[in-house]
Structure 1
Amino acid sequence: MRINRMGVLAAGHASVDFYQGVVPAMVPFLVAERHYGYVAASGIVLAATLLSSVVQPLFGAIADRWRLGWLIPVSMLVTGLGVGLAGPAGSYPLTWLAIALSGLGVAAYHPESARLARAASQGSHVGMSWFSLGGNLGFAVAPLMVTPLLAWGGLAVSPLLAVPAVLGCLVTVVAMRSVGRGGGAGRTREGARDDWAAFVRLALVMGLRSVGYIGLSTFVALYVGGGAAGAVALFVQFAGGAAGTILGGRLATRYGRVRTLRLAYAAAVPAVAGVVLVPGPAVFLFVAAAGVALYVPFSLHVTLGQDYLPRHAGTASGVTLGLAVSVGGVASPLIGALAEATSLRLALATLIVMPLLAWFLSRPLKEPAIVLP
């Protein structure tokens, strides 16, 4: 039952993070049909991404005060509804508000769903890695589904994009009932104490990881020459990330989360360096290795954050799944500006420092006790 529940929750997670990949895929069609400029198009993406990431800790704080299980299915439907309305909205302000509504749905979903997944997995690192993988896959497949649909029917058919949210909501409700009947075994947060110093350090580690991974994914396609080579580079990075997510859960079960986290960041340093310094086809091997190493800690960050703040698990989930991840997106324009002022190779070379600093900051972290929400 534990495996079945986590599989269903992972599918629900995929259906929500699918919409984070939908918005960038919609941008070319918004530009073509409505003649949006670069600023207007970037404003649409900002409405979905940065707003969602910043608001997630707020929803996490709310979830710490009240158990809001109903918010999970409602937020899933809101996420799909926002994207579904973006096509018929017509005007730019209404389109922006529709996309912002979808982003708020994403923000409302993650803190409570992360707590639910932790309870359903009964503290299993492998289970949480599958939950995280669901979100990664949902994001990755979005362009493959959205682009053919909008190429066929244009923005007028965007209401069809709400279907994954409805399906994901239905299966998640089934899993929630299963968890309610028997998923909460284990030590609880009653009497536990928060370690804010360790959590802040972990958040800084996550921010550095985000800058390294998102910076690499933003520019690696251009670095290898674009076209088919660029597509292959992105594919192997994302595939490596998927493999790293599952590998992280298994390694943490055997060696512990903090030790696995440190080893991953240590391995990421030569992997990212290889991307920048190794010429020829071998660069794709290093891109894959960087994807694996930088995603091994991803689900571990979430559970470590929850265990460092057992009395504020919702806040921890909101920061680890939202705010800390958005740092990479904010830093990407700075990397782009450096590339324009110098060279893309030099700009990417700065990313080598990110996992090195993450490893250094993670050294004082201690393995916390597992405290189920």
Structure 2
Amino acid sequence: MIQRSKLALLTFVHFLTDFYSSLLTPILPALVAKLNLSLTHAGILAGLPSMTSSLVQPLMGILGDRMEKRYFIIVGPLFAAVFMAAIGMSPTFGLLIVCIILGGFGTASFHPQSVSMAGDVSGSRRGFGVALFIGGGTAGLAVSPMLVTQYVEYFSLEQMIWLAVPGIAAVLLLSRAIPIRNTGRRITRLQEIKESFRPNLRPMIVLTVVVIIRTLSGVGFGTYLALLMKDRGFTLQEGGVVLMVYQVGAVAGGFVGGWVSDRIGRARVIWSSILLSTPFLLGSLYETGAMMYGLLFFGGFMNMASNSVSIAFAQEMVPDNAGTASSFPMGFSWGIAGAGIMLFGGIADRIGVMPTLEILSVIPIAGGLLALALPNRIEFPPVSLAKQTMETQKV
């Protein structure tokens, strides 16, 4: 039987955790102005969340599987709430980096154990429970840009620390309401993992590279889009609305892409959606008003339509170690893309924000063409996405 109250609480904490994880990008223009940072510095800050939360996430998943108790479900959201809410009051670039790294650790440690527990408390309706849980996270990602920019404009960057209060309260409630014993504890030998990857190693490598390219474009575009809006005279709040439209498109793309891939195949959705993202992203840079918002919505939609599809595809390639396989398109690829976003900060310093966004808009072409090498079906039983949605982190 589904434990509704516990599932609802887990979903709410996931909403808050992903809300905190996406606080940085919308207020990046304000942080640049406050600390007098260069675009190179801005690129480093923008890439850090992906690097810290995504590269560490596979390790947290393996460690979490071996733990007798799910301590990360409590520690993760607490770190995300406190340290990401503290970025506004950081007086130096160095302290800002420390807060982002520790906040990213919180996000990375929370997700593996929490999604497992969401399935446990859902009983026979595991598909529904996990979909609801992931939907809570995507909602947090979508509303964060608008809410945090409004908050900062009404109060200040320094007052952002009070945003941690709901997260702390939710963690205290969660610690009292949810049993943290890990009933699904499993220890897998490294050699077994290696053998499970062997049959489909080549397509897994191709898929990982494709996701790196797509994520570099999508997350990088959102990052420097916020700075472009500032250059065009948008207020912080108006820039937050622009980012929200882009992120809502990405969330919608994750839902629709998964549903379509169940019907026409994973690879077709991956290469077609990635290729189609370029005209929308590039076109949005030259339009204003409603047309700009529409192009941004569909640019985000197409860029991230393959997100949940890539995760399911990886699970189909390595069905015996689906969790580890998922960490490549969910974690490792996003981390490598984060490093690429840092490099683009230096590029933006040299050529400007607009040319940098133009480059990020056309990068998906390389990923889409490479994705043509993917098999449309894997011989193993497919992982259905009809009742699943995307986990993002992180347009």
Q: TM-score range by the shorter chain?
A: 0.7 to 0.9
2:249 to 232, 236, 240: 240
2:138 to 119, 136, 158: 136
How much has 1:79 moved relative to structure 2?
1.7
Please give the alpha-carbon distance, in whole angstroms, between the structure 1 residues aligned to 2:270 and 2:105.
Answer: 32
**Bigger shift: 42-51 or 65-74?**
42-51
Residue 328 of structure 2 aligns with an amino acid whose one-letter code is: V
Q: 1:136-157 CA deviation, whole Å, 9 max, x = no partner?
A: 3323323333334444554553
Distance 1:345 1:24, change over 3 A: closer
Please give the alpha-carbon distance, in whole angstroms, between the structure 2 residues aligned to 1:90 and 1:40.
Answer: 15
Please give the alpha-carbon distance, in whole angstroms, between the structure 2 residues aligned to 1:155 and 1:334.
Answer: 26
**Bigger shift: 154-163 or 306-315?**
306-315
CA contact (8 A) 1:207 1:325 kept: yes
Q: Does 1:356 align with 2:365?
A: no
Distance 1:285 1:86, change over 3 A: closer
**Bigger shift: 125-134 or 296-305?**
125-134
Residue of structure 2 equivalent to 1:270: 276
Q: TM-score, normalised by structure 2?
A: 0.70
Residue of structure 1 equivalent to 2:392: none
1:205 to 199, 207, 210: 210
- Kindly report which structure 2 residues correspond to 1:164-313, keeping only aligned pairs within 5 A, or say none: 164-169=166-171, 177=179, 194-196=196-198, 197=201, 198-218=203-223, 222=228, 226=232, 234-252=243-261, 254-255=262-263, 259-260=265-266, 262-276=268-282, 285-306=294-315, 308-310=317-319, 312-313=321-322
Please give the alpha-carbon distance, in whole angstroms, between the structure 2 residues aligned to 1:295 and 1:150.
Answer: 28
Please give the alpha-carbon distance, in whole angstroms, between the structure 2 residues aligned to 1:179 and 1:68.
Answer: 4
How much has 1:101 moved relative to structure 2?
1.7
Q: TM-score, normalised by structure 1?
A: 0.73
Unaligned runs of 5+ in 2: 385-395
Residue of structure 1 equivalent to 2:378: 366
Please give the alpha-carbon distance, in whole angstroms, between the structure 2 residues aligned to 1:30 and 1:231.
Answer: 14
The aligned length equals 361
Unaligned runs of 5+ in 1: none
Residue of structure 1 equivalent to 2:390: none
Please give the alpha-carbon distance, in whole angstroms, between the structure 2 residues aligned to 1:230 and 1:142.
Answer: 12
Please give the alpha-carbon distance, in whole angstroms, between the structure 2 residues aligned to 1:135 and 1:126.
Answer: 15
Secondary structure of the residue aligned to 1:195 is: helix
CA contact (8 A) 2:118 2:130 kept: yes
**Bigger shift: 152-161 or 171-180?**
171-180
Please give the alpha-carbon distance, in whole angstroms, between the structure 1 residues aligned to 2:344 and 2:120.
Answer: 39
How much has 1:14 moved relative to structure 2?
1.9
CA contact (8 A) 2:267 2:372 kept: no
Residue of structure 2 equivalent to 1:80: 81
**Bigger shift: 234-243 or 83-92?**
83-92
- Kindly report which structure 2 residues correspond to 1:338-349, keeping only aligned pairs within 5 A, or say none: 340=351, 343=355, 347-348=359-360
CA contact (8 A) 2:254 2:307 kept: yes
Please give the alpha-carbon distance, in whole angstroms, between the structure 2 residues aligned to 1:320 and 1:203.
Answer: 6
Q: Determine which structure has the larger helix proportion and give its number.
A: 1
CA contact (8 A) 2:268 2:376 kept: no
Distance 1:24 1:234, change over 3 A: closer
CA contact (8 A) 2:76 2:106 kept: yes
**Bigger shift: 243-252 or 102-111?**
243-252
Please give the alpha-carbon distance, in whole angstroms, between the structure 2 residues aligned to 1:290 and 1:3.
Answer: 38
Residue of structure 2 equivalent to 1:319: 328
Please give the alpha-carbon distance, in whole angstroms, between the structure 1 residues aligned to 2:59 and 2:268.
Answer: 29
Residue of structure 1 equivalent to 2:388: none
Q: 1:40-89 CA deviation, whole Å, 9 max, x = no partner?
A: 66555555442222222221232343454221122111222223555666
CA contact (8 A) 1:305 1:313 kept: yes
Q: CA RMSD in A?
A: 4.5
CA contact (8 A) 1:128 1:249 kept: no
Residue of structure 2 equivalent to 1:13: 14
